[in-house]
Amino acid sequence: MNRIYNIGVIGVGGQGLLTLGRIIGLAAIHAGLDVAVAEVHGMSQRGGSVIVNVRIGEEPSPLIPVGGADLLISLELLEAVRYIQYLRRGGVLVSNDFIWPPPLARYPSRDEIVKSLKSKEINLYIYDANKASTEFTGSTVSANIAILGFTMGVDEELEEILGLEKVAKALEEVFKGRVLEVNKELLRRSYIEGVKIAEKRRGSR
Amino acid sequence: MANPLLAGRGSRVLLLGNEAIARAALESGICVAAAYPGTPSTEILEAIIEVAEQCSVYVEWSVNEKTAFEVAYGAAIAGLRSLVAMKHVGLNVASDILMSSAYAGVEAGFLVVTADDPSMHSSQNEQDNRWYGLLSHLPVIEPSNPRDAYELTKESYALSEKYKIPVILRTTTRISHTRMPIVLSGEIASGRNCRGVFRQDLSRWVLVPGNARRRKLELVKTWASIMEKEGEEPFIRIINPGSSKVIIASGIAFSYVREALNLLNAVDKATVIKVNMPVPLPRAPVKKVLESASEVLVVEELDPVVEMQVKDLAQTEGYSIRIRGKDLIPLNYELSIESVYSAVKKFLGIEGKTPWESIGVVETPTPIPPRPPVLCAGCPHRLTFYIVKTAANKAGLKNPVYTGDIGCYTLGYQKPFETQSTCFEMGGSIGVANGLVRAIDNPVIAVIGDSTFFHAGLPPSINAVYNNSHIIILVLDNLTTAMTGHQPHPGTGISATGKKTTRVLPEKILESIGYRVYVINPMKTKESIEAVTEAFREYKNGGMVAIVSRMKCALEVAREARRSHVTLPLYAVIEDKCTGCMACVNLTACPALIVEPGAKKPRIMSDLCIGCGLCASICPYKAIIVVNNPTPGYEKLWWEP
């Protein structure tokens, strides 16, 4: 791989972003690629704004430049808008269909956010990863895995670079026992959902 | 799910920069490791703790960085390799012993890891700790990425042992908190003898002035010798020699310079000096490159530590070349590929567009609100702050000033709490309170966390009693070092490796110093308000009072509840009863309480609520109730009598 492929993983502290970044990093290792996974977060344990910079390519420096991200995976809609300028023209944004407002704040509605995002030259996918996780595991705790599977399904470039099997293998290094089995199955299901959506979109063009 | 830290030679594993340092230290055969937790350094010791038993390493969370340094140094003067790790400001705390250790030296490899935090992601300043190398005359090693950190840690142990002095390894947030694949080049030493020998040597270990003077001469000799003899790999590397344009890059800056040159197709247009030892800068190789240079750019994060040494060298040698640095590279904050790219481009005189094209910002009708760090749902500090403010009103404590400290509770500076008016450094809440009462007539309440109290809160607590400084001490005891990721401390009675040990209680210490101590459980809101009101009244009557508010960190409670299958209460807002007065929202600022756009009443996010019950106790209309069946006795998870 000559150029560096940049993925910004964004959301709110506590949504499993660091784990998600690590899984992509491990998958890159299995795909025989070099990678840097840089975690940028502030002083809070939970509830702060977080971006994990994943850069796949030879000896990457740690941080994605503004306009350098090929793909943004967001676990939260307000954060998707906050970090959107990292996305390059024509890049892909996959966002969880979920708003987690900061305390005491006034914020835009879901429809306002989606409408604003649609005004940009990006490939936008909104996916309810919380729902996908809850339906299958009983809680939102695996929303990070659901959105990763879905993203692999809709983003052909990421699928080509990593491959779903390498991601599944990476899960084995992070989870064990029943949690591992559940996450592997959730990854596969949400991937299929993504593939279907992508096919439908291609068909309608 | 094998621990990558224990993988065998030749394995390619994904390691955090901090884990890479830990692995390299283990390969180097350390016997002792100590630290006080501090972002971004914490994971170094955490990684070692995980494997301490298998690797027969003694490891401890010390009460502060000075003590941690002394623990590791004590082992090193007895011939055992050791490591101490801390965040940049931690080295300020340990700087006294750092300076002396340079004079006395070591008998075995001793590494002082300082993890600096440019851009202050989680710190009160962004000091460049490479200065400590110049101050103490100790070499500073600076990796450019996690892979470098792994190799250079091992080289640092060799360097330390070769010259019998401590070596400072300086990382930054961007190296400590970045993961990269690393091919392990060594195995973790096993079956080592971790018994050392302390050789009596008064002229070396007793730094009375006469001995210190002799040791200073040794130190100066060693310093000169390192500067002269270590001017080759692994400490400095010359790439593409012979070019008249020269870029000198230290640490993380090299990663950006490398990528910038690639993007500009200009790898052959400049000679690059990769500096892995910024202090002292090896002179011979730099001199050789400067001989044929026409212009030099020094790229480094924060201060011009290398730049000044390069200028010094050029001046001494009589070279009249232009040396650029901080005129093109910012003096503050982290570097980025963008900032280094544009500086390198300008330096090389290359024209053209930047390779990145952003889609720009997205405007929404209501702007995206900022998301500053907040106290978690269920955080005990929220309850304590509410209780203390309510009690201050009840007791007629007028306009109290809350001096603050370092920890999650620092977030109490925000609305609606405003129970932190200062935050400077560890222990500063009590120390500064001692001075404020000499200057103002307001009551002064020093707010300090449990771990911070043990770290630096004791001397100023004693000072207040001894000098009759009339202050109130409020210890927020959440039974852990929460902000850095829940490390145990003396108040928990648990060691770094999870063993039971003597528990040291803040109230016992404060009582023995001379405070009348009130211990409260903030879960019992009403009782606690009564107790704190009484404490404040006693203070108004001239008493020396301290309050210890004890309730476990909510994240720990949630974790334990999951582990032990305990159901915690789940609260919900009953729409019919709720009048939309918003008292719960405005008085708690709890992240679990949200008001959707257009909604007149709040809602509790069930995924986030962990049942502390503060909102329910505040609600004037009893409209917030428990809607599940909590496990009887769940309260025990919050409070350990």
Whole domain around residue A87: which residue ranges?
5-98+110-204
Please state, in angstroms and rounded to a whole number, the distance separating the CA atoms of residues B40 and B176. Answer: 6
Please state, in angstroms and rounded to a whole number, the distance separating the CA atoms of residues B77 and B56. Answer: 19
Of the partner residues A82, A85, A139, the one whose CB lies closest to the CB of residue B359: A85
pLDDT of residue A205: 65
Find out whether B515 and B442 touch, Cβ atoms under 8 Å: no
* B252-263 vs B337-348: helix crossing angle, rounded to 10: 60
Strand segments (E) across B21-81: 32-35, 58-61
Q: How far is CA B563 from the centre of its chain?
A: 28
Same domain as B518, residue B385: yes
Phi and psi, residue B43, nearest 5°: -65, -15
Same domain as B540, residue B425: yes
Q: What is the CATH number of the domain that holds A69?
A: 3.40.920.10
Question: Average pLDDT for consecutive 10-residue bins of chain B (641 residues)?
Answer: 91 98 98 98 98 96 98 98 98 98 98 98 96 98 98 98 98 98 94 93 98 98 98 97 98 98 97 98 97 97 98 97 97 98 98 94 95 93 98 98 97 96 98 98 98 98 98 98 96 98 98 98 97 98 98 96 96 98 96 93 94 97 98 92 69
> Is the model's pLDDT at A1 over the cut of 50?
no
Contacts of B252 (CB under 8 A, 6+ apart): A61, A62, B144, B145, B172, B174, B175, B301, B335
Minimum CA–CA partner of A58 in chain B: B259
> What ipTM did this prediction achieve?
0.97
Using alpha carbons, select from B419, B420, B416, B383 the residue that is nearest to residue B586: B416
pLDDT of residue A44: 63
Residue with structure tokens 């300082």? B114
pLDDT of residue B547: 98
Same domain as B270, residue B207: no
- Token output for B259: 């990528």
Q: Is residue B373 part of a domain?
A: no
Q: Which of B205, B229, B253 is the last residue of a domain?
A: B229
> Which 8-state DSSP code applies to residue B494?
B
pLDDT of residue A42: 73
pLDDT of residue A47: 84
Q: Which of A36-45, A78-87, B98-107, B407-416 has the lowest mean pLDDT?
A: A36-45
Looking at chain A, the whole-number percentage of residues with pLDDT higher than 90 is: 89
B636 touches chain A (CB under 8 A): no
Whole domain around residue B485: which residue ranges?
380-489+503-551
Strand segments (E) across chain A: 5-12, 35-40, 49-56, 69-74, 87-96, 123-127
Same domain as B225, residue B241: no
Q: Is residue A93 part of a domain?
A: yes
Say yes or no for a CB contact (<8 Å) between B366 and A87: no
Please state, in angstroms and rounded to a whole number, the distance separating the CA atoms of residues B138 and B69. Answer: 15
Distance from CA of B358 to the nearest CA of A (A): 3
B590 touches chain A (CB under 8 A): yes
Find out whether A75 and A149 touch, Cβ atoms under 8 Å: no
Same domain as B208, residue B105: yes
Find out whether B490 and B496 touch, Cβ atoms under 8 Å: no
Please state, in angstroms and rounded to a whole number, the distance separating the CA atoms of residues B195 and B78. Answer: 9
Say yes or no for a CB contact (<8 Å) between B252 and A45: no
Q: Is residue B365 part of a domain?
A: no
Burial label for B294, CB within 10 Å (0-12, 13-18, 19+), is exposed
pLDDT of residue B1: 66
Q: What is the CATH number of the domain that holds B629?
A: 3.30.70.20
Using alpha carbons, select from B301, B255, B338, B275 the residue that is nearest to residue B127: B301
Starting from the edge strand earliest in sequence, which strands make up the sheet with B58-61, in order?
B58-61, B32-35, B82-87, B110-116, B167-172, B140-141
CA atoms within 13 A on the CB side of B605: 21
Distance from CA of A100 to the nearest CA of B (A): 8
Chain B residues touching residue A116 (CB < 8 angstroms)? 362-365
Find out whether B415 and A104 touch, Cβ atoms under 8 Å: yes
Q: Which of B348, B372, B395 is the last residue of a domain?
A: B348
Say yes or no for a CB contact (<8 Å) between B594 and A101: yes
pLDDT of residue A86: 98
Q: Is residue A105 part of a domain?
A: no
Mean pLDDT value of segment A122-130: 97
Same domain as B143, residue B283: no
Distance from CA of B227 to the nearest CA of A (A): 29
Say yes or no for a CB contact (<8 Å) between A102 and B14: no
Number of domains in chain B: 4
Chain B residues touching residue A6 (CB < 8 angstroms)? none
Please, which pLDDT band fits residue A204 given cuts at 50, 70 and 90? Answer: confident
Same domain as B401, residue B342: no
Please, which pLDDT band fits residue A45 given cuts at 50, 70 and 90? Answer: low
